Amino acid sequence: MSIKSVGSKSFSRLENVLVIGNGGRENSLAWAIQKNKLVKKVYLIPGNAGSERIKKCKRIDIDINNKNALIENLYFLKIDLIVIGPEIPLANGLADFLRKKDFKVFGPGQDGAKLEYSKSWAKEFMQDAKIPTANFWKVNSLEDAKKIIHSSPYPLVVKADGLASGKGVFVPNSKDECLKAAESIFNGKFSKAGDLVVLEEKIQGPEVSVFALCDGEKYVILPAAQDHKRLNERDKGPNTGGMGAYSPAPLLTKDCLNNIIKKIIEPTINELIKKKIDYKGVIYFGLMITKSGPKVIEYNCRFGDPECQTIMPLMDQNFVFLLEKCSMGNLTGDEFIDPPQKVSGCVIAVSKGYPKEYKTGFPITIGKIETIDCQIFDSGTTLSKNGNLLTDGGRVLSIVCQDKDFDLVFEKIYKNLKKINFDGIYFRNDIGHQVRKNFSLEN
């Protein structure tokens, strides 16, 4: 895939890029950024064991909350561009702080991150901008929640207002489950993040993730992806951070995307401008394509994980220029990403027990895997004292492949996954089932 009208030069120096975060998402961003010849070094704070396997990449061991040490190091390393991966530092205002110190930063300020860190604020934002989304109520006591749950004409979804590591959304199957979910949030399951609760009409339809890189005013859309949130095959089991993804999503036809641009993406950016929020970063639109059209399920102020790992291999070396242009408010509006020549898929290998309790520290063995159009992006790994790769998280690593069609992609992924092992390894075998012609859920 090529990224057009970006120009082959940076506006300024782009030798040293910093990526903040420690997951597979950040490793895939670093991997895509280092493809550019102007980039000499990509630093990751803190990164993980997999970061060191990526060309030009180096981890730095600094606590981002230690602002003085952080700034001192960034000046010393002559950092030209900073990309902030996860939502928590964005919600804590890290981008604002770094911009004040004159760094170019890809990532919204605290005001823009509110799209993700307050679900009720995001719902009101959508209401103000008349953006299609499920009907909702905002409640701050269990009593009020109960009244609405009992009187609601339709089934409801229950959401803690604040950040809850992807665990704050309950999709109950009955009023009873709905009440239990509201009770657990108000009883402090997510502490302050659950002081407010959003009750939302349960809507139906396939889900798709759309990412717009935004410079505060203009935007570029990346190829859409479909994530698989449930732990088990056939989309059963608990919600997870994401078990796999594929991109581009054929579900999003040109007409459908144009409709999304007109009804959702542009109104969102216009509303940000209206609210005087200078959003320089990615807006993640979690959408549901319902019978009555696309609706926003959620906004995030960051790239999706594992969507990012899936999309990055479809980007060419100009990708970092897009990030830089966004950080400087310099998109021309003419940049576009050609429809990809290849398609991409990603499967995540997780620890036994995830998303509940799991053990870490198991040795990971990686046999001979393909190197062309095949990447491993570590999500949760570490190195032992003698340099052995160990599991260090619920989601351990992702294997990502590209090819002419999705059947070839997933054949390659699952073939390579056989060569990766650790105690308790688990992954879904049906990732991409919607787009694999040679796969049926009866298999």
Residue 169 interface partner, choices ligand AMP, ligand GLY, none, CB cut-off 5-8 Å depending on type: ligand AMP
Tell which residue, 92, 98, 128, has the closest CA to residue 111. Answer: 92
Q: How far is the CB of 307 from ligand AMP (least distance, A)?
A: 12
Using DSSP's 3-state secondary structure scheme, residue 156 falls into strand
Q: How far is the CB of 183 from ligand AMP (least distance, A)?
A: 19
Nearer residue to ligand GLY within complex by CB, 218 or 229: 229
Residue 435 is classified by DSSP as G
Nearer residue to ligand AMP within complex by CB, 36 or 133: 133
Nearer residue to ligand GLY within complex by CB, 175 or 230: 230
- 3-state SS of 38-88 is CCCEEEEEECCHHHHHCCCEEECCCCCCCHHHHHHHHHHCCCCEEEECCHH
Residue 293 interface partner, choices ligand AMP, ligand GLY, none, CB cut-off 5-8 Å depending on type: none
Binding mask 242-261 for ligand GLY (x = CB under 6 A): x-------------------
Burial letters 362-385, b for 16+ CB under 10 A, else e = bebeeeebeeeebbbbbbbbbeee
Is the CB of residue 313 less than 8 Å from the CB of residue 360?
no
- Sheet of 136-139: strand order equals 136-139, 197-201, 156-160, 169-170
How many Cα atoms occupy the beta-carbon half-sphere of 78 within 13 Å?
8
Cis peptide before 248 (omega within 30 of 0): yes
Residue 171 touching ligand GLY (CB under 6 A) = no
Window 258-317: residues binding ligand GLY (CB under 6 A)? 300, 304-305, 307
Using DSSP's 3-state secondary structure scheme, residue 159 falls into strand
Residue 134 interface partner, choices ligand GLY, ligand AMP, none, CB cut-off 5-8 Å depending on type: ligand AMP
Nearer residue to ligand GLY within complex by CB, 165 or 365: 165
Interface residues toward ligand AMP, by CB under 6 A = 134, 157, 166, 169, 171, 200, 202-203, 207, 229, 239, 286, 297-298
CA–CA gap between residue 57 and residue 54 (Å, rounded)? 6
Binding mask 219-238 for ligand GLY (x = CB under 6 A): --------x-----------
Nearer residue to ligand AMP within complex by CB, 44 or 212: 212
Neighbours of 438 (CB within 10 A): 11
Nearer residue to ligand AMP within complex by CB, 26 or 161: 161
Q: Which residues contact ligand GLY by CB under 6 A?
A: 166, 227, 242, 300, 304-305, 307
